[in-house]
Every structure is written in C-alpha cells, then in structure tokens.
C-alpha cells in the first residue's frame, strides 16, 4: 500500500471517500440552514399583523378540518350502489389534499402569530420571560401536534385510523388570543 495521505485507508475505507461524504453532508446542512433563514426573512417581510388580519384570524376558518375526514361521509358513500374500493381510495386522497392545504395555512398563520409575538417582545419596554416561555412551549406543542396530525393523515390516506386535529387547533387559538391581547382595536402592529 502506498504510504501517502491520498491513499490512507481507515477501516478499509479510502479517506477520500470519507472526506467527500463529509463535505457533501456539510454542504447539504448549510443549504438547509440558508433556506430556513431565508424563509424566515421572507415570512417576516410578509407579516400582515393588523387588527383586520387578527379579526379574520380565528379557529373558525379551520373548523372544516374537524369534519373533513369524518368517516360518516365515507360510510354514506359506501352504502350507495356502484361504489367501489377504488372510489373510497380516491375520496380519501382528495380529502387528504384538502386537509393538507388547511394544515399548511394553519402552519403559516401560526408562524406569523409567533413572529408577531417576538416583535412585540422585542419592542416591549420591559422583559417578558413569561411570554417568551409560553411562546417556546406553544411552538414545541404545535410542532409535535403538527407532526402527529401529519402521521395520522398519512395513515388515514391508506384507510387506517382517524385524524385528531382539535389539540393542534387549541394551541393555535391560544397563541392567537395571546397576540390579540397586545394589539388594541385602534392600533395595528407592523404592516
């Protein structure tokens, strides 16, 4: 074996391969980090936190999610003459696409609410550790709830189980109400 660094073998693997893989992984992680930061800046630039936006922002706009994947509709359709398992699969797939759209919208609104609360905390003349801890706790709960709902949605798509979104909506509504307490009716934050 050649004793130059170029051909050094570690555990039977060429060091060049290890270096190339490590560089690729670091580059991919860097690109992901850049995308996350870039998306955060874009979201902050589109922060429509006005009293009108807050008035329009309610759990009512997401209420259809509670019934969208209800089994009653599918049971009704199964009882109809000519209904096939392929139709059931298509029905579930369509409902899942619609439900996913609601989830994306809720996730975007939740992100704007959190960003607005961060702005409120930064502009506050006094420290708000209570609000900061509530914000972090809610973001964690929302992320876990969102992951759980997405997993349930995947299973529902294949005809297994049901999707429970009420807990996610509760976290969303709690943060919405928290933000609403900081925006008086006659003033709007940002634009």
Please report, in tens digits, the pLDDT of each residue of the chain (191 residues total).
Answer: 444 444 455 555 566 766 777 788 878 777 766 666 556 555 444 555 566 666 677 788 888 888 888 888 888 888 888 888 888 888 889 989 999 999 999 999 999 889 888 888 888 888 878 888 889 999 999 999 999 999 999 988 888 888 888 899 999 999 988 888 876 544 444 44
Dig out the tokens for 163 from the structure: 């999707």
Report pTM. 0.66
């Amino acid at each position: 074996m050649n004793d130059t660094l170029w051909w050094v073998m570690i555990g039977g693997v060429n060091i060049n391969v290890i270096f190339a893989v490590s560089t690729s992984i670091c580059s991919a992680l860097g690109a992901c980090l850049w995308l996350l930061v870039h998306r955060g800046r874009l979201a902050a630039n589109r922060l429509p936190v006005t009293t009108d936006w807050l008035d329009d922002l309610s759990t009512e706009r997401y209420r259809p999610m509670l019934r969208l994947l209800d089994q009653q509709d599918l049971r009704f359709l199964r009882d109809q003459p000519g209904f096939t398992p392929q139709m059931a699969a298509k029905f579930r797939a369509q409902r899942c696409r619609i439900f996913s759209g609601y989830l994306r919208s809720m996730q975007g609104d939740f992100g704007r609410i959190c960003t607005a609360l961060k702005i409120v905390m930064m502009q506050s003349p006094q420290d708000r550790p209570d609000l900061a801890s509530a914000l972090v706790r809610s973001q964690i709960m929302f992320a876990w709830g969102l992951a759980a709902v997405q997993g349930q949605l995947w299973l529902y798509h294949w005809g297994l189980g049901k999707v429970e979104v009420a807990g996610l909506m509760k976290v969303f509504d709690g943060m919405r109400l928290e933000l609403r307490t900081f925006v008086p009716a006659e003033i709007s934050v940002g634009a």
